[in-house]
Amino acid sequence: MTGIDKSFGANKVLRGVKLALDSGEIHALLGENGAGKSTLMNILGGVLRADAGSITLDGQEKSFLTPGDSLSSGIAFIHQELNLINDLPIYENLFIGREIKKSHTPFLSKAKMRSEAQRVLSYMEVSVSPDTLVSELDASYKQTVEIARALLFNARIIIMDEPTTSLAEHEIEHVFSIMRTLKARGVSFIFISHKLKEVTRICDSYTVLRDGVNAGDGLVRDVTEADLARMMVGHDVNGERVQRSAIAGAEKLRCSGLSLTPYFKNISFTLHAGEILGFTGLLGDGRSELFQTVFGYLHGYTGEIYIDGKLTRIKNTTMASRLGIGYVPRDRKENGILKDLTILENGSLASYERLRRLLLINHRRERAEMNAQINALSISLQSTDDLITSLSGGNQQKVVLARWLNARSRVLVFDNPTQGVDVGAKEEIYSIIRRLADEGCALIILSSEAQEIVRVCDRAYVMYHGRINGELSGNALSEDNIMLHATDALTQDGGQTDEA
């Protein structure tokens, strides 16, 4: 791709952008949200047409008017939200919209589709039956089905948009293994990701966009994660852990012997005002279910929950909100935002009871409170009356946080707070978390990224199979120690230990 320009009205999204991809190469496409990555790939995928520039494939200039044109030329786009139907088997998902029919009949040739599906799966060295329901697959195998669908129609270039966002570490390695197998057979990948550690693990080369222009390109082996981050944001990004002063605030939340089968068992901890407390582990460790219970979403727990030192029984999310607990969920698009509502409405959802007088909402006060949060959180937007979907992922995350700050929450749970946001937005969110703690808010950080826990938290609990398997703080709070406890490499009984 050479000299690619694209504007939407007066907004120049791409200006003279270039990208080069070799056969059998995994190429990272990097940049902050809004840098132009999606626009560039939508042009390559036939969704959009460039205003200027050219696309050359195997030495021949191409013009893609539709996604079908791009796919016919061997280019497949796997989006972040997978397009699979859980209630259908793998082979039917592979052929959706392109089913094979028996000769001169309207009936499907299921035998032929099964055979072709098995051929592609075998080519990928994947041992799974094409008759397996997609609902029975873990997230990494669902990614594999998307890759198989691309290969089924002879894709030679596969664009993968944030493919590991919702995957656990072993699932990520499975996807990477498939990519390496296909790379050795000449298939090329464009890998869009905000996880720079993964870029250095899997990618051969990179292109960085910033504000719609090229900010850097080259071989991954010649750069560090810090180099890539600097190209993305235009300045050095501090990746060091921030040491904070000792916590001396009042007790805000205490759980004692909390259990909910089959998710977690005998969980006890205390959280104080001004503290950032982390919970981490591997997939299925129970941390999300633990705090969904504290937030009143999951029911039937045993044990005790204390808010501000008082024993309480949290029956639902409304009660949790009234008690001052806010929850920023991991899946922002599914559980955090309401896509059909405005930025203002999304940010005020948890405050309408407080803003209501009889049957009417005090909209003047609503706007004033939201504008205060926009300034405090540096939310970048055109108008609060725009749909929430008009914002980048990082700004959407800030609006969800604003919702709970508007609701006067003093205990905030962040479930994977930087999932799917770029390195610049990630640093902003970390800064906001530390500022809230300094102002006396009590914060829980749930994250599968050990680096994030070490970077942000004052101390952390590591969970293993639904139990606390270690408490880490000070110099003991390190990525190595987190992994040792998360895999139960130190203790074999799965019991609660203390490394603080």
- pLDDT, position 10: 80
CA 445 distance to own-chain centroid: 15
More confident residue, 10 or 411: 411
pTM beyond 0.75: the answer is no
More confident residue, 334 or 456: 456
Residue 178 and residue 270: Cα distance in Å, rounded?
43
Q: Are strands 459-464 and 467-473 parallel, antiparallel or unpaired?
A: antiparallel
More confident residue, 344 or 417: 344
More confident residue, 384 or 97: 384
464-481 pLDDT, tens digit each: 889 999 999 988 998 888
Both structure tokens of 337:
């935002």
pLDDT band at 42; cut points 50, 70, 90: very high
- Does 2-233 match 251-486 in CATH topology? yes
Domain 2-233 has CATH 3.40.50.300: yes
Mean pLDDT over each residue of the chain, to the nearest integer? 87
Give yes or no for residue 330 having a pLDDT over 80: no
H-type alpha helices, 270-392: 287-294, 317-322, 343-348, 352-355, 363-377
Give yes or no for residue 166 having a pLDDT over 70: no
Domain residue ranges in the chain: 2-233, 251-486
Contact 398/388 with Cβ under 8 angstroms? no
pLDDT band at 196; cut points 50, 70, 90: confident
Among 74, 83, 72, which Cα is nearest to 146's? 83
* Coil/strand/helix, residue 124: coil
H-type alpha helices, 169-327: 169-183, 196-202, 225-233, 287-294, 317-322
274-308 pLDDT, tens digit each: 999 999 987 678 999 999 999 999 999 999 999 99
**For 418-444, what is the mean pLDDT?**
84
Least confident segment among 68-77, 217-226, 282-291: 282-291
- pLDDT, position 417: 83
Contact 406/350 with Cβ under 8 angstroms? yes
- pLDDT, position 493: 43
373-416 pLDDT, tens digit each: 898 888 888 899 999 988 877 788 889 888 888 888 899 999 98
> How many Cα atoms within 13 Å fall on the side-chain side of residue 206?
28
- pLDDT, position 495: 43
- pLDDT, position 223: 94
User: If you classify domain 251-486 with CATH, what class do you get?
Assistant: alpha beta
